[in-house]
Structure 1
Amino acid sequence: MAIYFIRHGESLANERNLFAGRQNTPLTDLGVRQAHQAGRRVAAIGVRFDEVHVSPLDRAKDTARIIVERIGTPRVTTVESAELVERDFGVFTAQNKSLVKKSVGFRAYTEYFHSCTGCPPGGESWPEMYERVRDYYEAVLLPRSRAGRSVLVVAHKYVVEMFALVVAGIRPTEYRDLKIPNARPLAEADLRWIARATARSAAVHDFGEIVEIRLPVLVAGAAALGVLAQLAVRVPVPPQAFSAVLVSLLAISTFFGMLRLHSGAVRGLGRGLRVALPLTAARVAAGLALVSLSPGTPGLLLGLFLLLPPALITPTLSLLWDGDYFTSVRQTVAASLVLPVALLLALWLPHRLAGLDSALTGYLGVLAGAMALPALAAQVLRRRNPIRAGSLSTNWNWVGGFALVPLAGFVTFALTPAGADHAGAHPGLVACVAVVAAVLLGLRIASVAFVRWRKLPARVARDVFITQSTPNVFLWFAVVGGVGSAVADAATLLAPITACGFFAAMFVDEAVIVRRFTRRLRAAMADVGPAAPVAAAG
């Protein structure tokens, strides 16, 4: 009879981008809905399970319970087995996945987790994991199937992947990360297909891992190349083309970023805004003062920059940089509802620029087409098809990050004045660089001083730093793109310089965070000693 395998629904550790391993971590709201959807899919298949074999960890047991309740099989026998528990990740347990990748590098990460000879320091080796899963399949599951009993197995990512290798007859030396999605019911035939198809798509997934590891430097490099390319070819970009490309690429990034956003995390928006309210208020006051009192366009543009809400990628940055996540979500959503109104009103203050109507159109177009609508689409998908949303978010989220690479290059190319003299000879260059550097550095210094003054917990402090120092610069680009041709080159130089500075600052921020994390991780790895070499499983 049939054997079906299911990886548990999304857990809190999955949502927080942490290695859970054998630690207990509850299902999230999305994970619960994924389990219900899995139950509906199993019921639609029409299989009546005689036994459910489940890992002893709560996230697997809760997933199994929901599925059994959903399919209405009251007499099913539940078998809880320690052989189905997740792999022990050793020193990596409870650590941020992205920071681990960035700290050890792509090759070492692949060796630790996705090599048939790999072993996380202090954790379970790959051969040990493979052998216990293979033995369980051959000694427990296969005899039951041959005896005419239908079995459902609810376990974990690496356990289900080992079952896939065993079922497909793939040699351990050919193992690659199979990207098993949460809560998707998989028959043995499905496991065979996934195991064999992964070999064909391995290069794509490896590229995604590299993008995640190197994203800040890729984005900063693309921004610099955009400026250099415009100085070389001197081809102006029409405003309509600028808006279309900006909205399209930013919409991709927003969609994948918002797929990870748990709508329940926005509860308590007022509390999230109050965490950094004095800092936000000071920034808004400075921005309004510049907009109201500045005699020239550069001051106006910098004032508008200070009025920007946090970028919608800040929750993703929180996940990548081991922040609190929920604080970042609340601050980003709350500020994104309030600050655009202040920015919109500031544009109507006495400084009437030629091209302002175009700037407002671009601003509203980006706000709606590149942010609001993709975010809504992502949340609708999470609600209607949680398994699909979870799979896209977990395995393809790098696409949203990678969209920022061509976006950064295009924005700086389009905003660099095509008719300007060579940048090195431009009289306003030094002043623009100095002002932009002062603003970006000032935001960071103010954020660090504030979190130290408030004595915030480390992860909450990191979220405050991220949201305060990472404004939604693309809204500002939309305004500058509309005004651009109507102002002097000295003012429009602010746009490409700010873009390059913004992306370079993100690179520096991450470098500092990764360096600190690496020191702690190396100390933990030194405590358990070097991982002993292991032989590949037979």
Structure 2
Amino acid sequence: MAHTVVLLRHGHSDWNLTDRFTGWTDIALTGQGIAEAEAAGRRLAGAGFRFDEVHCSVLRRTRQTAEAVLATLGQTAIPIHETWRLNERHYGALQGLNKQEIFSAWGEQRARHWWRGYAEPPPALEPDDPRHPRFDPRYADLPPEQLPASESLADCQRRLLPYWNEVLAPRIRTGRRLLVVSHGNTLRGLVMHLDRISAEAMEKVEIAPGVPLVYRFSNGLAVLGREWLE
């Protein structure tokens, strides 16, 4: 199991019920989401996985997922590290709206380009918008220029990669067994980096919720293989 990392997208959340864009909004898992996390834990247990530490975002749906997985594995004493760099992509003015509301305001073609494309962010939040992360005490210690009012997938990836390069990759090299619990777009950005996928091809790549994605690396962290534990 040395030089192995497991990536896991959190399960079903309350806003999935109303098809709302969540982003940095701190929404809890539903019962279905907890069940998906427990099922992921059973698959990991069946494959013989044990972990040394877990890394997740500061948003509760990833913490809930991590805790449910570890409880199922019987590994609740493992440390959980939280970081804003593993947060979901910030959807700007789209956060809290459902798809029909977004289509009505900006048009379906343009909106789909925002959320499936790589480089163009959605409309940004105004600085006085209560949804802006500068009003959230969890980000009070971050420099204002690091707080997004909107992000493209490229922006989300740039925000994530320092954590991969400076925190996760060095731990993997030493043989630490990591579980990384994050969000769909954040993990898409990491998979794009690890697998060297083009921006055009990345538009068609999905990260399934609640299904562990296992990467195996050489000593130099070249990807040797990847598999879904379905």
Tell me the TM-score normalised to structure 2 length.
0.78
In 2, Cα distance between equivalents of 1:128 and 1:35: 28
Aligned to 1:90: 92
Aligned to 1:186: 213
Alignment deviations for residues 425-484 of structure 1 (CA, whole Å, 9 cap, x no partner): xxxxxxxxxxxxxxxxxxxxxxxxxxxxxxxxxxxxxxxxxxxxxxxxxxxxxxxxxxxx
Q: Does the aligned pair in 2 maintain the 1:167–1:192 contact within 8 Å?
A: no
Please state if 1:134 is matched with 2:127. no
Aligned to 2:69: 67
Distance change (3 Å), C-alpha of 1:160 and 1:98: farther
In 2, Cα distance between equivalents of 1:80 and 1:39: 19
Task: Give the letter for the 2:203 counterpart.
Answer: R
Q: Does the aligned pair in 1 maintain the 2:214–2:227 contact within 8 Å?
A: no
Counterpart among 62, 83, 95 of residue 81 in structure 1: 83
Greater radius of gyration (CA)? 1
Q: Does the aligned pair in 2 maintain the 1:164–1:188 contact within 8 Å?
A: no
Task: Give the letter for the 2:157 counterpart.
Answer: Y
| Deviation (angstroms), 1:100 | 2.0
Q: Whose strand proportion is higher, 1 or 2?
A: 2
| Deviation (angstroms), 1:50 | 0.4
Please state if 1:169 is matched with 2:196. yes
- What pairs up with 1:49-448 in 2 under 5 angstroms? 49-101=51-103, 103-122=105-124, 123-188=150-215
Q: Does the aligned pair in 1 maintain the 2:11–2:29 contact within 8 Å?
A: yes
In 2, Cα distance between equivalents of 1:23 and 1:177: 25
Structure 1: which 5+ residue stretches go unaligned?
195-386, 389-538
Task: Give the letter for the 1:108 counterpart.
Answer: R
Q: Does the aligned pair in 2 maintain the 1:130–1:162 contact within 8 Å?
A: yes
In 1, Cα distance between equivalents of 2:59 and 2:199: 26
In 1, Cα distance between equivalents of 2:8 and 2:214: 9
Aligned to 2:11: 9
Q: Does the aligned pair in 2 maintain the 1:6–1:155 contact within 8 Å?
A: yes
Deviates more, 1:145-154 or 1:94-103: 94-103
Report 1 or 2 for greater relative contact order, CA contacts < 8 Å, sequence distance ≥ 6.
Answer: 2
Question: What's the secondary structure of 2:112's corresponding residue?
Answer: helix
Distance change (3 Å), C-alpha of 1:179 and 1:24: same
Question: How many positions carry a matched residue from both structures?
Answer: 196
Aligned to 2:130: none
Q: Does the aligned pair in 2 maintain the 1:43–1:71 contact within 8 Å?
A: yes
In 1, Cα distance between equivalents of 2:67 and 2:100: 31
Distance change (3 Å), C-alpha of 1:177 and 1:23: farther
In 1, Cα distance between equivalents of 2:100 and 2:167: 36
Aligned to 1:36: 38
**Identity of aligned pairs, percent?**
30
Distance change (3 Å), C-alpha of 1:98 and 1:42: farther
In 2, Cα distance between equivalents of 1:102 and 1:187: 39
Distance change (3 Å), C-alpha of 1:38 and 1:188: same
| Deviation (angstroms), 1:126 | 2.8
Q: Does the aligned pair in 1 maintain the 2:41–2:69 contact within 8 Å?
A: yes
Structure 2: which 5+ residue stretches go unaligned?
125-149, 217-222
Q: Does the aligned pair in 2 maintain the 1:54–1:155 contact within 8 Å?
A: yes
Question: What's the secondary structure of 1:140's corresponding residue?
Answer: helix
Q: Whose helix proportion is higher, 1 or 2?
A: 1
| Deviation (angstroms), 1:131 | 1.0
| Deviation (angstroms), 1:116 | 1.9
Task: Give the letter for the 2:119 counterpart.
Answer: T
Over the aligned positions, Cα root-mean-square deviation in angstroms equals 2.4
| Deviation (angstroms), 1:140 | 1.6
| Deviation (angstroms), 1:106 | 4.3
Q: Does the aligned pair in 1 maintain the 2:9–2:182 contact within 8 Å?
A: yes
Aligned to 1:19: 21
- What pairs up with 1:459-538 in 2 under 5 angstroms? none
Q: Does the aligned pair in 2 maintain the 1:55–1:80 contact within 8 Å?
A: yes
Q: Does the aligned pair in 2 maintain the 1:167–1:188 contact within 8 Å?
A: no
Q: Does the aligned pair in 2 maintain the 1:168–1:192 contact within 8 Å?
A: no
| Deviation (angstroms), 1:179 | 2.5
Distance change (3 Å), C-alpha of 1:73 and 1:188: same
Question: What's the secondary structure of 1:145's corresponding residue?
Answer: helix
Distance change (3 Å), C-alpha of 1:90 and 1:35: same
Q: Does the aligned pair in 1 maintain the 2:122–2:152 contact within 8 Å?
A: yes
In 2, Cα distance between equivalents of 1:104 and 1:188: 38
Alignment deviations for residues 128-174 of structure 1 (CA, whole Å, 9 cap, x no partner): 21112222222221111110011001111111111111111113354
Runs of 4 or more consecutive aligned structure 1 residues displaced over 4 Å after TM superposition:
189-194
In 1, Cα distance between equivalents of 2:80 and 2:31: 24
Q: Does the aligned pair in 2 maintain the 1:90–1:124 contact within 8 Å?
A: yes
Task: Give the letter for the 1:95 counterpart.
Answer: L
Q: Does the aligned pair in 2 maintain the 1:55–1:154 contact within 8 Å?
A: yes
| Deviation (angstroms), 1:66 | 0.7
Deviates more, 1:167-176 or 1:37-46: 167-176
